[in-house]
Amino acid sequence: MASQPIYQFYAELEDYRPKIWRRFQVQGNCSVARLGYIVMTLYEMKASHLLAIEHERPYLTATGRLSRRMELLCRYALPDEEGEWKEYDDADATQEKLSQVDFEEHSRLLVNYDFGDDWRVIVKLEKMFSNPDLPGKELPRVLEGKGFGIIEDCGGIYGLEELAVAFNAKQGDEYDRYREWLGVDELDLERFDLDDMNFRLKKLPRIFADIYAGYEPTQRSIDLIERKYLKKS
């Protein structure tokens, strides 16, 4: 059974339309780093770039209203292979548990992946609860969602929008260029496979943890990330 409190989150890829969103659950003893790896799995990120998780909340205006601008409360990051920080005041994401994060009203986590393409996933806590009938091995799990996720190294949100337009048109120079680059003729960025995503959630976060700890992924791990299991007869 799940002995830890269960955290239910809603996640959304920032600034992309139509929305690419997920609703998912994790155990309360999950580290901030593992939450980042779970979000990476949910959004098709492949652990080939830097990762940071920021805890932030809206500023209060002089009239007491919530501003659209966000105030940084804490930034969690991963040490490099020598144990040094990317930024001197970052907290260690591998050591902080979700139970240590003060999810005050209106605060949120922002998972920032690939500081060049600048993918940003907004993660909001919806509720905390207990369910003694739910086996802990069932977590993490995604309950629902929409949209495929990102495409690595495509140029961020703008590049993802261009990809969607090109593959919807299925003709033209941009379509030919992207088709050659990705090696596919079809790409549906609105597709979301719940069963496959839950399968991946049981495998990939551990692989990502090893990669960020400095271990080279095995060929089996690479095949899982690249979905080679779907190509087997």
- Catalogue all structural domains in the chain, each as residue range(s) with its CATH number: 6-149+191-224 (3.10.290.30), 151-188 (no CATH)
Q: What pTM was computed for the model?
A: 0.93
Whether the Cβ atoms of residue 34 and residue 53 lie closer than 8 Å to each other:
no
Extended beta strands in the chain, E state: 6-13, 21-27, 51-60, 66-77, 91-92, 108-113, 119-129, 141-146
Tell me how far apart the alpha carbons of residues 222 and 49 are, in angstroms, rounded to a whole number. 15
The whole-number pLDDT of residue 233 equals: 46
Instruction: Give the helix/strand (H/E) hosting 193.
Output: none
Residue 151 has pLDDT above 60, yes or no: yes
The whole-number pLDDT of residue 85 equals: 47
pLDDT, one tens digit per residue, over 6-22 is: 999 999 999 999 999 99
pLDDT, one tens digit per residue, over 41-64 is: 999 999 999 999 999 988 877 777
The whole-number pLDDT of residue 81 equals: 56
Average pLDDT over residues 132-141: 90
Residue 94 neighbours by CB distance under 10 Å: 17
Residue 152 has pLDDT above 90, yes or no: yes
Average pLDDT over residues 113-133: 94
Q: How much is the mean pLDDT over the chain?
A: 90
Average pLDDT over residues 75-95: 72
